[in-house]
Structure 1
Amino acid sequence: MSIVSRFFSYFVVFSNDYFSSCACIPDESNLRPTCWRLLLNCLPPERKGWSAFLSSHRKLYDDLVQEFVVHWETCTNEEGSNTADHPLSAEPTSPWCQYFKDNEVLLQINKDVRRLRPEMSFFQRATDYPCKIMTENGAVPLSDRVRAIILPEEHLKTNRSGANSLVEVMRKSNDEQYPILPFGQEAHWQVVERILFIYSKLNPGVKYVQGMNEIVGPIYYVFASDANVEWRKHAEADSYFCFQNLMSEIIDNFIKTLDRSTVGIERQMNQLYALLHRVDPALYDFMANVQELRPQYFAFRCSVSSLSSSLGIFNILDVICLWDTLIADPCRFSMLLYVALAMLVYERCSYLFQLTVLTVFFITD
C-alpha cells in the first residue's frame, strides 16, 4: 500500500478540507475512483455508510436496466392479440409507439458513443464484467437494436450525381470498426450507451444531447479502470449515478428553452467572449469581427471539449487530471470558462486554427 493510500485509509469522515486536496490526485495511489465518487456525491462522507449506500444504489440501477432495457425488449418480442400492441398501431398508449420514439434518441446515442475516444482502444475492448441483468434475461445490447432499426428501413441517400446509396454502407463500416461480440459479452462503449439511454428515459425533458457522451466517458473510464476489482465490477452503476449527479448541476446548459435565460448557455458563452476580448483583443477581433463568429455556435463545444480529448489538445490522462481540479472545486465548474479561454488562446498561433474552428466547432452531425 502506498503512503497516500495508507493516509487515505485513516479517514473516517471526509470533510470539505479533504475534498479540496483532491485537485491533483496521484495516479499511482489508485485513489481517484473513490475520490470522484465522494466528490460527485456517489458516496456519503461517513465511511461506515458506504456499503449500504452502494448496495442500494447498485440494486436501483439493476432495476432501471430491467425496466428500460430488458422489459421493453420483452414487450416488443411478445406476440399478443391486443391491437394497441401491434407495431403498426397508431395508439399513443401502445408500447410500440414509445419504442419508436426511443429509437430516435438511441440512434443519436449510438452514433456518438461509437466515436468515443477513437484514439484509444479502451472503449472498443470487451468489458470483463458485462451487465448480469442483461445476460441473465437473454437481452441483447442496445446496439443490436440500432442495427435492427437501420437495415430494415433501408434508408436511401442521394449523392450529387443522383446515384443512390444505402445507409447499410455506413452500418457496415461501423461494424468493421467495432466487431460484433458473442452473446454475453459487450464492449465498454456499449456499456456507456446503456448508461446514456437510461438517463434519457429518466429525463424526458432533456433526453440526450450531443456532448453528454464526452461527460460520462471519463467517469466510466476511471471507474472501469479501478484496481479494486470489487468496485470495478460495478463501474456501470456507479458511473450512472455520478453522471446523473453531475448533470443535475450543469443541466441548464443542455436545455434549449433556457439558452437565452440568465442561467442558459448563451449568457455563459458571451462571458467567454468578454474574457477573450480582455485577454487577447487581436484574437477576439479576428473571431468576432473578421469571421463574425457568434460565441454560442462554438464556445459550448469548446467548453465541453475541455472535458474531453476530442480536439486532440488534451490526451485522456490530461483530461482526467483536469477533471480532478474541476470536480474538487467548491464552485464546481466556475473555472471551466477559463479552461475554454486557455484553449482558444493556445490555438491562436496554430496554422490549423482557422481550420479547427470551422471544422471541429461548426461541422457537427
Structure 2
Amino acid sequence: PLNTDPNSHWKNYFRENEILQQIDKDVRRLYPDISFFQQKIARKFDSSDCDILSGRMNNSAHSIDVIKDCFGMTEIRKNKVYDQNQSFDHMAADSSDGEFHWQIRDIFNKHADSDRSSGIVSRMDRLVQILNKEDSELCQQINLIQGIKPHYYAFRWITLLLSQEFPLPDVLRLWDYMFSDENRFDFLLKLCCSMILILRDQLMSGDFASNMKLLQNFPDSIEITFIVARAKTIQAS
C-alpha cells in the first residue's frame, strides 16, 4: 500500500475501488423510489457473466478518467443494466453496447465543454438552432427576451438522455424510439425540441421564474407517443 509507483498493483486496487464506490452511490440515487436501485444483489452470477462484466470494466478503464467526474454517465449506463437485468444474453453483444458508449462519450468529455464544435455545448447550440427553425418566435422569447439559456434545462435533458424527466417505464419506451433511429442522438435533440414546442402556450405567457420551473420540471402527464410524434414531424421537415 505504501508503494509510490503510479502503476503499482495497490494503486490500481484503490483506484478501481474508488470507481466502484462512485458507481454504487450514483446507482442508489438514480431512482431512490424504485427498490431495484437500492437492494443488494439477490442472486449469484455465473462465472461467464462475471467474465463479460470484467472485460467491459477493463475496456472502459482507459476512458474512466474522462467520464468518472462528469454528471450523468453512470446513471445512463445503469438504466441499461436495469433494462437488461433479467437476461444476460444481451451481454454477449459487446459491440453494440460499446458503440453506445463511444457515441455518447463526447457529451461527457469535460475537455470539450468550452468547444462549440464538439461536446455538450455543441449539442445545446444545435438544439437552439432546431427550435429557432421550427418556431423562431418561441425561441426568441425563451433565449433572448427572458434569457433562459439552454444549459439551465437542456444540459440535464441531453446528458441524461431524458432519464430524469419521466417515470422509468416511459423512459424505456422513449429510448426504444431513440435508439432504433439511425441518427439516435440527433433524434434526441428533436425530442427535446418537441418537448419545448409542446409547452409553447405556457412558455409564451409565462414569466422567467414560471418558465424555468416548467422546463426544469417537465410535466410527466404528457404522453410519450405525442412527444415522439412531434419529434418525427420535426425530423421530416
- TM-score normalised to structure 2 length: 0.66
Q: Does 1:218 align with 2:79?
A: yes
1:97 aligns with 2:11: yes
Number of residue-to-residue matches in the alignment: 207
Q: Aligned partners of 1:222 and 1:346: how far apart in 2?
A: 28
1:265-294 residue CA offsets vs partner (Å, 9 max, x unmatched): 222210111222343445434542355344
Distance 1:305 1:203, change over 3 A: closer
1: distance between equivalents of 2:60 and 2:151?
24
CA distance in 1, matches of 2:170, 2:217: 23
Does residue 295 in structure 1 map to residue 155 in structure 2?
no
Secondary structure in structure 2 of the residue aligned to 1:262: coil
- How far is the alpha carbon of 1:223 from its aligned partner? 1.8
Who is 1:249 aligned against? 103
What is the CA–CA distance in structure 2 between the aligned matches of 1:246 and 1:201, rounded to whole Å? 16
- Give yes or no for the alignment of 1:333 onto 2:185: yes
Supply the distance in 1 between the matched residues of 2:97 and 2:141 (Cα, whole angstroms).
37
How far has the Cα of 1:114 moved from its partner? 0.9
Q: Distance in 2 between matches of 1:102 and 1:280?
A: 48
Structure 2 unmatched ranges of 5 or more = 219-237
For residues 199 and 110 of structure 2, the distance between their equivalents in structure 1, rounded to whole angstroms, comes to 29
Distance 2:187 2:84 in 1: 24
2:107–2:159: 8 Å Cα contact kept in structure 1? no
Q: Residue 206 of structure 1: SS of its match in structure 2?
A: helix
Q: Who is 2:25 aligned against?
A: 111
For the Cα contact (< 8 Å) 1:113–1:213, is it kept in 2? yes
Check the 8 A contact 1:89/1:96 in 2, yes or no: yes
Cα offset, 1:253, TM superposition: 1.8
Report what 1:123 is aligned to.
37
CA separation of 1:359 and 1:335: change in aligned 2, threshold 3 A: closer
Residue 107 of structure 1: CA displacement?
A: 4.2
Counterpart for residue 194 of structure 2: 342
Q: Which residue of 1 aligns with 2:132?
A: 277
Return the TM-score normalized by structure 1: 0.46
Higher relative helix content:
2
User: Residue 213 of structure 2 corresponds to which residue in structure 1?
Assistant: 355
CA distance in 2, matches of 1:238, 1:223: 12
Equivalent position SS for 1:89:
coil
| 122 and 111 in structure 1: CA distance in 2 versus 1, 3 angstrom threshold | closer
Deviations 1:285-341 (A, max 9, x none): 454235534434542321244442x12xx2222222222222221223221101111
Gaps of 5+ in 1: 1-86, 137-191, 226-231, 361-365
Relative to 1, partners in 2 of residues 1:200 and 1:298: Cα closer, same or farther, differing over 3 Å? farther
Residue number in structure 2 paired with 1:201: 61
Q: Secondary structure of 1:267's partner?
A: helix
Are the counterparts in 2 of residues 214 and 307 from structure 1 also a CA contact under 8 Å? no
AA aligned to 2:171 is V
Query: Higher mean Cα deviation, 346-355 or 214-223?
Result: 346-355
The 1:358–1:334 alpha-carbon spacing in structure 2 relative to 1, beyond 3 Å, is closer
Is contact 2:153-2:216 (8 Å) kept?
A: no
CA distance in 2 between counterparts of 1:215 and 1:239 reads 18
In structure 1, what is the Cα distance between the partners aligned to 2:190 and 2:119? Answer: 18
What does 1:233-248 align with in structure 2 at a 5 Å threshold?
A: 233-234=88-89, 237-238=91-92, 242-248=96-102
Q: Structure 1's 119 and 341: CA in aligned 2 closer, same or farther, altered over 3 A?
A: farther
Q: Relative to 1, partners in 2 of residues 1:90 and 1:217: Cα closer, same or farther, differing over 3 Å?
A: closer
Largest Rg, 1 or 2:
1
Q: What CA distance in whole angstroms lies between the structure 2 residues aligned with 1:318 and 1:358?
A: 18
What is the letter of the counterpart of residue 324 of structure 1? D
- Does 107-116 or 240-249 show the bigger shift? 240-249
Give the AA of the match of 2:126. Answer: Q
Note the aligned Cα RMSD (angstroms): 3.7
1:2-151 paired onto structure 2 within 5 Å: 87-127=1-41, 129-133=43-47
The amino acid across from 2:155 in the alignment is: F
